[in-house]
Structure 1
């Protein structure tokens, strides 16, 4: 009896609801300490052994029970008094355990482990109450309560000829784990679907031909459809290429603006003659001024006319054109007078 301050098992409750399990634990611990004969009839245990057994039993009693049996010093007397007081628990637990055993079904549980725990709990209660539960009873209970959809599986397990319930439950647990693994694999990617693309694939730019870019790539591990560049960093090469394209567009647009010919119909810039929308009377004035210029061989300023969709801007442009034409006419007259 090394340490009496620490309980070896749960103390007996004053209601006696845990009496059956308490009796079993008490017998095991007394036998382990060599005090098992102290609770048997007509024992020849010494007074020292009886004292040790009495201390152990009282240590595992409810405080109220200790006060009720304070005067008892013989462990056998205490044991018999507790048995007379709480032995009726068998008559209470046994009908309930029989009812649970009768309605126990494998198909009512979500997992095999839950069913296994329930069948062992009920069978233990039946055994404590004096009922005999064998492996054959447990096997038949399991086989007869399979789900209707698993009739073929139940027949296959019967044909294996299990002799122990532990062998059957081991096979069921392994099958359950394999089924869960199959379901997880199916849910991760359903049948017929393709795997998700790699997250690190970067398209560096437009490709041509058979998915090859302009540059020569380093190494042979190249994804099909991916452009090849001299730089290893896909994003950096792509940003540099886009900047070069923008600069090239700006240069070409600027050169086009400077090299674009003026409209020979009205003399304006920024459009072609086939898209010219200058009013006809202004075009006639401009053509007349060109004829006069060719006759006088004099220098004339370029007349620029720009078409504007809004009405106010169109009127302003018309007046400006008229002013230019008047100035040109005056210049022509002055040249004629001088010559």
Structure 2
């Protein structure tokens, strides 16, 4: 856990041009985390919590073990009849509702949500979470905050007057510089807004992707994957790293490291033996950049996971997933 201040962006240094040692350190870190792992308890300079609400991070910031800066993962818990403090930040965030129900006030408008919804905090949003009901509400939050920090988009905090007001003019509409049409997109994607499809990866429902132009988010792609008991997902290879949260059931994942052989061009060399990671409900599993992964459901229980990744990889030329093996359910269709 971070001891001094909050870490938003970590540095990347090396004695040589090559970064092989840096990648080795990254790949050596345990990729499965459960409730015992808290890398930031939000007690240092976090503006969102109230006396009742609670926020804690599982993947960054303040992560002393190097995992990723493309996706952060934290939880927000609202006891019955409570709310947190309103605040604003330039980065987007996606809230997957694990249990309970409630509503948001975003830019002075109300948006209701319930279990299994994906709720978007859009760019430059002032937002506050409310739970007026008699059941605790818990959300898993995934966001690409470090991307905004790398790009210098740092203006955030609680509502209040600006400093040096005498040096600035009257208010202007900030949304004038947003992507056209964004205000017409959905802030909440519910199960009714999605459909389950059988794909090479397996049975999935997509909540956020470049193809979903009805969703008001541009940085995080998210979908659910449902692997039947005793079955497996497709064996997939992609450049983007990924965080998987186990919503239900258990099983294991196999991950193959992919080495780069730099000859007259780049060649991929796949590890002959994978590493196995056992997972159960409530765990997060990290899949590093440039890896092959396959998920297996245990006998007697299905495996349902939420996948999240930073969409920026798709804008950098890595928008294809290659399947070495299709899910059995897809192969039979």
TM range (shorter): under 0.3
Q: Greater strand percent: which structure?
A: 2
TM-score normalized by the length of structure 2: 0.21
From the CA coordinates, give the structure whose radius of gyration is larger: 1
Q: Structure with the greater relative contact order (CA < 8 A, sep ≥ 6): 1 or 2?
A: 2
TM-score normalized by the length of structure 1: 0.21
